Structure 1
């Protein structure tokens, strides 16, 4: 192989060595901006809707969720501009995972039941039962919450 062919092969190898790692990083960087919020346990009949657009669409989805009497509707950000909306009705304490931002609650439980979020640094925040109020929580508190109690 002549010097020109070796130089061209070396340049080709260097370009491939530079571009391939960048291409492999692109999907990982996009995925790093999203997460999957979780509440555990989810009891029989409870469920979560994923990938609801944020803002007015998420508020509308909360209102639709809360049409059922006796339900607590919890919306939380996924980090990609979309929300996960949990439809909850069973009393008890649950563990939270990946609650980072954009937390809202529409509480249509009966009998004055509350939804309470607790974190080690911020203490307890409450969402009293009121089918006409969407309670919004600050992101710094949402990030700290590790448990939620209903009723």
Structure 2
């Protein structure tokens, strides 16, 4: 495992998310200087590797081993679990079509994604309710004219 290769993959994750080093550092729970060091080849602690993998929808194995990990993961790839709610399965399918593979996540990650999906669904649901209220009030105003 080349440390510079690990650094390149960490940089690739950060850039794919569109984050500056400072933004990425805040997301993964470390400082900007640490992110710069990781991208220069320093190997992060296990908890930071876990956070990077989670944010980037990749595995720690891929960060550390690259294509070798991706090839072995493809061989053992299974479809997204059927116990996931239909909306999350659809989201997982869309993500996989865009190169983000949720089916290769280590145990525990799916629960985190489920929680995030539930939060997103809740937020979108509240925003949708507000939008419907706004449309209804606009409709009532129009009817009263």
Question: Which band: TM-score by shorter chain?
Answer: under 0.3
Greater fraction of residues in helix? 2
TM-score, normalised with respect to structure 2:
0.22
Q: Which has the larger radius of gyration?
A: 1
Higher relative contact order (CA 8 A, sep 6+): 1
Q: State the TM-score, normalized to the length of structure 1.
A: 0.22
Q: Going by fraction, where is strand more abundant, 1 or 2? A: 1
